[in-house]
Chains A and B, each alone.
Chain A
Amino acid sequence: MRVLVCVKRVPAVAGRLTLTEDERALDTKYVGFQVGPHEECAVEEAVRLVEAHGGEAVVLTLGPAEAVEQLREAMAIGAARAIHLVTDGGDWDAESTAGAIVDAIGEDEAANGPFDLVLVGNEAADSGGYQVGARIGRALGRPVVTGIKALSVADGTARCEQESGGGRDVYEVRTPAVVAVLEGINLPRYPSVPGRIRAKSKPVASSSPARPAQRLELRRLVVPVTEAKQAQVLGKGAAAAPAVVELLASVGVL
C-alpha cells in the first residue's frame, strides 16, 4: 500500500499572539514550528497503515526551505521519503496549495504508481481552510471523506468513521481515496533517536512550484481584541475551599 500524507509547517505559538510589521504573519522570533495536531495524527496513521499492510508512506509539504525539519520529523517516525514543494515563505491560499499538491501527486504517481490513500489534516492549524482534501479528491476524481476519527483499509475499501450526533457515521469508499483526519484518530508516537538518525539520510525530492494569483487573497491579519480580564483570587491552597463552594452555590451549580 502506498500512502501520501500532506503536512503544513505552522508556528508553535501558545501565549499572546503578535504579528510581523506587515501584519501578514505571526511574529515567530521566539517560537518554534511544528505540524498541526491533525497532521501529526495523519502521519502516524500513514505509518501504521504501512506497518500493517506493507508498502511505503511518503510525506509532502508545501512550505519554506525550513519546512524540511517537519519532513524529517515525519521520516523519523517512519515515512520512507519526502516531497518538498519549496516556497519563499509567503502565504499560499488553500486552492493554490491543493493545485501544487495535485501536480506533485501526478508526477510521483507517473513514476511509482497510484497512492492508495492521500491523507490530509481536516483543516490546517493556522489558516483553517477546510478544503485542501476536497480539492485534491475532486482534481484526481477520487472519493474524499473528511472529519475522520477511525480508519481501516481492506480489499480496496477504506472504512472511515466520523463523529456525529453523539455516535459515529460510517463511510466506505473505494481506494484510491483521500481522507481528511482529525486529532484523536490515534496517539502519535515520539520519534526515537535511531529513527531521527535514519531520517537524516532519507531522500527529499524538492521543487519550486510557481505561486499562482491568489483568489482568496490575504490582505492582513488582526489579533482580535478580547476583554483583558484579571481573575478575582478566591484564596490560596486548601483554605480557599469554602470560598469556592460559596461560588458554586451562588452560580447555581452546586
Chain B
Amino acid sequence: MATVLVLITTADGAPDKVALQALALGSQLAAGGAVHALVLGDDAVAAGLGAWGATNVHLARHPALDVPAPDAAARILDDLAGSLGAQFVVGPGTEEGNTILARSAARAGLPFAANCVSVTAGSPVAVTRSRWGGSLLEEAVINADRAVLTVAAHVIEAVESGGSASVTPFTPQLDDADLAVRVVGRVPAPAGGVSLTDAKVVVAGGRGAGSAEGFAPIVELASLLGAAVGCSRAVTIAGWRPHTEQVGQTGTKIAPDLYIAAGISGATQHLAGTKGAKRILAINKDPEAPIMTAADYAVIGDLAEVLPAISAEIRRRRGA
C-alpha cells in the first residue's frame, strides 16, 4: 500500500485524457492506499475525479491560477506531496505535465522519470520509460524515497472506477518568485485549415516530393479529401514546408483514420509520430523502403504520377 499524489491538468473544463491515464496508474501504485488528486482551480473537474479512481481530491484555489503558471503549480504539488508524505507523485506525460513535474522534482531535489510506460512499486521503484519518442524503452530504477514521474501518453488506459471522492478546497501558499513565470498574453490560432492533430485523413510528403513545387499534388489530394497536409523533417529542414506540418518525434503526433505517406522512407523518428494512425498507405518508388513494414497498403511508383492519378480518379467518381 502506498500514498500516491496525481496532478490532474485540465483544458476547457475537463480533465486531460492523459491525466486520467496517470490517475489509473496512480491507483495501481496505491494498491489500496490513498489516491490523492490535485486540481488547480478547476472546480468542475474536481467533482468528477472520484469516478476515475481518486480517493481524495485537493482543489487549489488562488487568483494567480487562472492562467498557466508552471512554477506555482510545481510548488503546490511539491508542498502537498510533502504534507501527505506521498511515495509517488505522478503526472501526465504531456508538455504541461512534464514541465510541472520536472520543476517540482527540481525544487524537492529529487530525480524525475518522464514518460513512463510502466512502474513497479518496490525499493527501489522500477520504471520503464519511453526514449526516442517511443521507439526505444529504458528500464531504470529510481533511487529516492519519493518517485516523481509522468505517464507516457496513451499507453495506459484510464479506468472508470465508479467511485466517489471528497473534494477539499484549499488556498495554497505562493510567493512572488513562484509567479515570475506566468502567461501574460495569448496569440490566437490562425483561422482555417485542418488541424494535423485532429485530422481524420493526413496526406504527407517527404524528400521524394523533390521540391516545394513538388508538393502540389500532395496539397491537391489533401484538399479533395478535406485532409491535413503533413511532411517529414527532410522537407521542413529543406524549407519546402513549415515545421507546423512536420509529423514525428520532434513534430506533431497524429491519429488519423488514414495516413497517406508519399515519398517518405519511414525513419523511426518519423514513425514516432504516426503510431496513432489507424491505417497507413505508403506511396514510394522503393518497394524496400522501411515504411513498407509499418504501412498497411502501398503503391509502388513515382508520387508525381500516382497522386495526380488518384485525384483524377476521385474527381471522375464524384463527377459520375
**Is A197 on the interface with B (CB-CB < 8 A)?**
no
User: Which residues B150-164 have CB closer than 8 A to chain A?
Assistant: 150
**Taking the nearest CB of chain A, how far is it from the CB of B193, in angstroms?**
10
Binds A, one of B18-26, B53-61, B80-88, B98-106: B98-106
> In the bound complex, how far is the Cα of B11 from the Cα of A161, in angstroms?
18
Residue from the list A134, A145, A224 in contact with B102, Cβ < 8 A: A134
On whether the beta carbons of A240 and B292 are closer than 8 Å, the reply is no
On whether the beta carbons of B106 and A143 are closer than 8 Å, the reply is no
A231/B140 contact (C-beta < 8 A), A128-B131, A138-B107, A238-B309 known? no
On whether the beta carbons of B105 and A131 are closer than 8 Å, the reply is yes
On whether the beta carbons of B136 and A26 are closer than 8 Å, the reply is yes
Task: Give chain B residues whose Cβ lies under 8 Å from the Cβ of A17.
Answer: 132, 135-136, 268
Residue from the list A15, A125, A235 in contact with B132, Cβ < 8 A: A125
**Taking the nearest CB of chain A, how far is it from the CB of B179, in angstroms?**
10
Task: Give chain A residues whose Cβ lies under 8 Å from the Cβ of B126.
Answer: 219
Could you give, for residues 226-254 of chain A, a 1 whenever the CB lies within 8 Å of some chain B CB and a 0 otherwise?
Answer: 10111111111111111111011101111
**Is A33 on the interface with B (CB-CB < 8 A)?**
no
On whether the beta carbons of A143 and B180 are closer than 8 Å, the reply is yes
**Taking the nearest CB of chain B, how far is it from the CB of A74, in angstroms?**
16
On whether the beta carbons of B258 and A251 are closer than 8 Å, the reply is yes
Binds A, one of B28-36, B167-175, B295-303: B295-303
A216/B201 contact (C-beta < 8 A), A37-B233, A125-B249 known? no
Could you give, for residues 118-160 of chain A, a 1 whenever the CB lies within 8 Å of some chain B CB and a 0 otherwise?
Answer: 0000110111111100110111000111110000000000000
With contacts defined as CB atoms under 8 Å apart, how many contacts are there between chain A and chain B in the complex?
261
On whether the beta carbons of A14 and B268 are closer than 8 Å, the reply is yes
**Taking the nearest CB of chain B, how far is it from the CB of A221, in angstroms?**
6
**Is B195 on the interface with A (CB-CB < 8 A)?**
yes
A15/B268 contact (C-beta < 8 A), A26-B136, A170-B186, A217-B143 known? yes
On whether the beta carbons of A244 and B310 are closer than 8 Å, the reply is yes
Binds B, one of A65-73, A81-89, A107-115, A171-179: A171-179
B93, closest chain A residue (CB): A130
Task: Give chain A residues whose Cβ lies under 8 Å from the Cβ of B287.
Answer: 233
On whether the beta carbons of A183 and B251 are closer than 8 Å, the reply is yes
> In the bound complex, how far is the Cα of B131 from the Cα of A224, in angstroms?
11
Task: Give chain B residues whose Cβ lies under 8 Å from the Cβ of A130.
Answer: 98-99, 102, 112, 114-115, 150
Task: Give chain B residues whose Cβ lies under 8 Å from the Cβ of A47.
Answer: none
Binds A, one of B44-52, B207-215, B239-247: B239-247
A11, closest chain B residue (CB): B132
Chain B's interface size range is 35 or more
The SS class assigned to the B binding surface is mixed
**Is B257 on the interface with A (CB-CB < 8 A)?**
yes
B296, closest chain A residue (CB): A231
**Is B216 on the interface with A (CB-CB < 8 A)?**
no
Could you give, for residues 256-269 of chain B, a 1 whenever the CB lies within 8 Å of some chain A CB and a 0 otherwise?
Answer: 01100000010111
**Taking the nearest CB of chain A, how far is it from the CB of B229, in angstroms?**
15
A233/B267 contact (C-beta < 8 A), A147-B99, A218-B140, A219-B139 known? no
> In the bound complex, how far is the Cα of B269 from the Cα of A13, in angstroms?
9
**Is B306 on the interface with A (CB-CB < 8 A)?**
yes
**Taking the nearest CB of chain B, how far is it from the CB of A20, in angstroms?**
13
Task: Give chain A residues whose Cβ lies under 8 Å from the Cβ of B11.
Answer: 165
Could you give, for residues 70-103 of chain A, a 1 whenever the CB lies within 8 Å of some chain B CB and a 0 otherwise?
Answer: 0000000000000000000000011100000000
> In the bound complex, how far is the Cα of B185 from the Cα of A169, in angstroms?
6
On whether the beta carbons of B306 and A173 are closer than 8 Å, the reply is no
Known: A146-B70, A216-B111, A253-B200. 10 other contacts (CB 8 A): A17-B136, A130-B114, A170-B185, A171-B181, A172-B184, A216-B112, A216-B141, A218-B140, A228-B293, A232-B296
- Chain A interface (Cβ within 8 Å of chain B)? 13-17, 26, 36-38, 93-95, 122-123, 125-131, 134-135, 137-139, 143-147, 161-162, 164-174, 182-184, 187-188, 213-224, 226, 228-245, 247-249, 251-254
Sorted nearest first, the 5 A-B pairs with minimum C-beta distance are A184-B243, A166-B189, A131-B102, A238-B309, A237-B301
The 30 listed contacts between A and B (C-beta, < 8 Å) are A15-B267, A15-B290, A93-B111, A125-B132, A125-B249, A128-B131, A130-B102, A130-B150, A131-B102, A131-B106, A131-B114, A138-B103, A143-B181, A165-B12, A166-B188, A166-B189, A169-B67, A171-B182, A174-B180, A183-B243, A184-B244, A218-B139, A218-B140, A229-B295, A230-B292, A232-B298, A235-B299, A237-B309, A238-B308, A244-B306
